[in-house]
Structure 1
Amino acid sequence: MYPTDLTDSAWQVIQEILADKRKRKYSLRAILNALLYLTKTGCQWRQMPNDLPPWPLCYYYFWKWRNEGTWERLNKSLVERRRQKAKREASPSVGVIDSQSIKCSEWGVVPKGYDGHKKVNGRKRHIIVDTLGLVLVVVVHAANQHDSPAARAVLTRLAGQGYERMNKILADSAYGKKLARWLKRSYGLLLEVVKVSELAGFQVLPMRWKVERTFAWMNWSRRLSKDYECGVNSHESFVYLSNINRMLKHF
């Protein structure tokens, strides 16, 4: 038993969503436990404990569900259930967007770039969260891309998720008026920039602090402390896994 193992109630929720009853030598619950362990501890695939399913099998399911979009669908289903458990509407009406630059551990991987503002050579993970801080979508790209043009890929992915109540996106000043016009014209969503007041010193911005808190939560998953993946799709999947693990604590 590991602290990351699924509880019976959490596994029951996952079972209902996956609806996969095929018999296997290693159960899906055991495989998910292994992937949650990997996400939390940040260990290498080949360094996984021997009492977990074989690492090639775990990697196969991680890779398969990544390519099939299973992690995104599972994340969306759990977001809706988590919101309902918090007595909210299943579909959020407000999203908060931001990006975080992180270092890459691999040499020569693409896409990769240098963020001159944060002094980081690596990638950015661009996320949109709801007002509970739950990750709705994530896109990983080179760190040298400016937030405003790169945000189009994130917002396009959000539009494809089917959150029918979504009508407003909160952002900081890095996202300009050109993006706001594109978002309104393309998807009918309002982009609202939360501005910093002229007062000196640290300020907690209304609603914007929730996406910053989510980035802090991500650091609890050591696999996300640095970008260890060659492909951006794999890093996005680990962001979803980290979010899934956090939500399952409430079931």
Structure 2
Amino acid sequence: MYPTDLTDSGWQVIEEILADKRKRKYSLRAILNALLYVTKTGCQWRLLPNDLPPWPLCYYYFWKWRNDGQWEKLNKALVERRRQKAGRNGSPSVGVIDSQSVKCSEWGVVPKGFDGHKKINGRKRHIVVDTLGLVLVVVVHAANQHDSPAARVVLTRLAEQGYERMSKILADSAYGKKLARWLKKSFGLILEVVKVSEFSGFQVVPMRWKVERTFAWMNWSRRLSKDYECGVDSHESFVYLSNINRMLRHF
């Protein structure tokens, strides 16, 4: 038993969502336990403990569900259930967007770039969260790409998720009026820039602190402390796995 293992109630929720009755030598629960272990500890695949399923099998499921979008689907289903458990509507009406630059451990991988503002050579994880701080969508791209044009990809993917009540996106000043016009025309969503007051020093920005808290939560998963992945889609999957693990603790 590891602290990252699924609880009985958490597995029951996953089992209901997946509705997979196929018989396997290693259960889906054991495989998910292994994937959550990798996400939390940041260990290499080949260093998985021997009492977990073999690493090639675990990596196969990670790879397969990454490529067919299963991690996104599972994340969305759990977001809806988590919100309902908190007394909210399953579909959020407000999202908060922001990006975080992270160092990349691999040499020569693309996309990758230098964020001159944060002085980081690597990638950005661009996310939209709800007011509970749950990740709705994530897109990973080169760190030298400006937030405003990159946000179009993020918000397009958010629209494809099908959150029918979504009506407003909160952002900081890096997202300009041109993006707001595009968002309104393309998806009928309002982009509202939350401004910082004129007072100097540290200050908690209304609503936007929620997305900053989510970035802090991500750092609790060692696999996300740095970008260890050659492909951006693998990093995105680990962001979803981290969010899934956090949500399951509330069931």
Query: TM-score, with normalisation over the residues of structure 1?
Result: 1.00
Aligned to 1:135: 135
**Alignment map for 1:5-154 (pairs within 5 Å):** 5-154=5-154
Task: Give 1:123's aligned amino acid.
Answer: R
Q: What does the per-residue CA deviation read over 1:80-123, in whole Å, with 9 as the maximum and x for residues that have no partner?
A: 00000000000000000000000000000000000000000000
Q: How many residues align?
A: 251
The one-letter code of the counterpart of 1:56 is P
Cα distance per residue 1:144-185 (max 9 Å; x no partner): 000000000000000000000000000000000000000000
Q: Distance in 2 between matches of 1:244 and 1:129?
A: 13
Percentage of matched positions with identical amino acids? 89
Do structure 1's residue 159 and structure 2's residue 159 form an aligned pair? Answer: yes
- CA displacement at 1:13 relative to structure 2: 0.3
Q: In the aligned structure 1, how far is the partner of 2:92 from the partner of 2:5?
A: 29
Deviations 1:170-221 (A, max 9, x none): 0000000000000000000000000111111111010000000000000000
Q: Quick one: which amino acid aligns to residue 104 of structure 1?
A: C
In structure 1, distance between residues paired with 2:59 and 2:201: 46
**Cα drift, residue 128 of structure 1:** 0.1
SS in 2 for 1:160: helix
Report the counterpart of residue 210 of structure 1 in structure 2.
210
Q: Which residue of 2 aligns with 1:186?
A: 186
SS at 1:223 equivalent = helix
What runs of 5+ residues in structure 1 fail to find an aligned partner?
none
Instruction: Tell me the distance in 2 between the aligned counterparts of 1:172 and 1:132.
Output: 18
| Counterpart residue identity of residue 178, structure 1 | K
Letter in 2 for 1:183: L
Structure 2: how far apart are the matches of 1:107 and 1:236?
Answer: 19
CA distance in 2, matches of 1:119, 1:48: 34
TM-score for the superposition, normalised by structure 2:
1.00
- Distance, in Å, in 2 between the alignment partners of 1:168 and 1:204 is 20
Distance between the aligned counterparts of 2:14 and 2:202, measured in 1? 41
Aligned amino acid, residue 30 of structure 2? A
Rounded Cα–Cα distance in structure 2 between residues aligned with 1:31 and 1:226? 24
CA distance in 2, matches of 1:74, 1:208: 25
Q: Which runs of 4+ in 1 moved over 2 A?
A: none
For residues 11 and 204 of structure 1, the distance between their equivalents in structure 2, rounded to whole angstroms, comes to 36
